[in-house]
Amino acid sequence: MSECVSVIIPTYNRGELVLEAIESALNQTYKDVEVIVSDDGSEKDVGDLIKSKFPSVIFIKHNHCGVSCSRNIAIKRSNCKYIAFLDDDDWWDGRFLEKTIERLEKGDVVGVFANYYKVYESRVKEIGYKDGKVPNIIGLDWIVRGSFIDPSAVVVKREAIVEAGLFDESLSTAEDWDMWLRMMRNGNFAYIDDCLVYKRTCLNYRIPWERWMNDCKVMSKFISGLSEEEFKKLNMSLNSSASKIYSRWGSYLLHTGNRAEARKYLLKALRMTFKPKIVLRYFATYMPLGFAKLFDGIYLRELKERSKMKRLGLEDKK
């Protein structure tokens, strides 16, 4: 298999934005690249435009099946030793592949990810990972804490992602976290503290219930696949993360009035880590719903997000 990098760009109804992503992938200082655009059944056909502007790009059009399926189709078509992922509304610094491949070729990790800029609609930029927050090497004890590695910042060994079993097509969100968890059972990721990725970011103060639900699915699947020895090794970080995820989903279920399911997840959270906050949230499931919502405090998240949107000069889109 060739030493080149397969850059996989799944796209769906993104029109002009995907052209910027492709251009950034082709304008790299690392030149041994194949770009694969996997069109997930876009309503407007961009294939002819892409082929005319970028003749070297491999364009695959398929029926709409979701981002995981779209990535998997491109992975199966790829021909290179390394795979890089780029979302269709993001773009790279020209040195991204050079620096990540240089680190990956040291041979001690299965994947590499870089720091990035969050680029808001107001054109304000924020650094993704603050100084000193992420170690140079990431293993299972870190990635179990949650989904913090963005696909657009990642380059992996193709053999490692194939061995892990490709992306879970049943997940509409958190599919990347699920993948990194599976990959890191076989090897670590390295981190480069240079901002080499530009990620378009939209803030929304609404509760991200779909992501919270899929976080629960991913965590439960991960725990069920661990051996007793692996579970003990990850004990502290895993228990803390699972407790937070189950408690958060229990909180959402409480707000929808599904008290029985809320109690089930809050009890799961307490079995992982005993925290007074979760105990209070559990007792809130027996209160009148209006009072329980106020007592639970989930609205504080909305207030914090609204405040951040105002600070960044973003519109409050309803």
User: What gap in Å lies between CA 133 and CA 144, rounded to an integer?
Assistant: 16
Taking the model in full, what pTM does it have?
A: 0.91
pLDDT digits (tens, 9 = 90+) for 126-143: 999 988 789 999 999 999
If we measure between CA atoms, which residue out of 26, 22, 42, 149 comes closest to residue 90? 22
Into how many domains does the chain fold? 2
3-state secondary structure of 138: strand
Q: Do 255 and 156 reside in the same domain of the chain? A: no
Sign of the Cα pseudo-torsion (272, 275, 278, 284, in order): positive
Do 96 and 28 form a contact (C-beta atoms < 8 A)?
A: yes
Q: Do 246 and 276 reside in the same domain of the chain? A: yes
pLDDT the model gives residue 303: 60
In a domain, 105, yes or no: yes
- Which one of 139, 168, 201 terminates a domain? 201
pLDDT the model gives residue 318: 45
In a domain, 312, yes or no: no
Q: Do 226 and 195 reside in the same domain of the chain? A: no
User: What gap in Å lies between CA 255 and CA 298, rounded to an integer?
Assistant: 9
Q: Do 153 and 273 reside in the same domain of the chain? A: no
Residue 123: CATH number of its domain: 3.90.550.10
Do 189 and 145 form a contact (C-beta atoms < 8 A)?
A: no
Q: Do 195 and 213 reside in the same domain of the chain? A: no
In a domain, 112, yes or no: yes
Backbone φ/ψ region at 116: left (φ over 0), alpha (ψ -120 to 50), beta: beta
pLDDT digits (tens, 9 = 90+) for 58-79: 999 999 999 999 999 999 999 9
Q: Do 167 and 18 reside in the same domain of the chain? A: yes
> By residue range, what is the domain housing residue 118?
2-201
Spans of the chain below 50 pLDDT: 317-318
Do 68 and 53 form a contact (C-beta atoms < 8 A)?
A: no
Q: Do 158 and 270 reside in the same domain of the chain? A: no
In a domain, 318, yes or no: no
pLDDT the model gives residue 15: 81
Token pair listed for 71: 């990535």
Q: What are phi and psi of 147, to 5 degrees?
A: -90, 95
In a domain, 315, yes or no: no
Q: Does an H or E element contain 228, and which?
A: helix 228-233
Q: Do 148 and 229 reside in the same domain of the chain? A: no
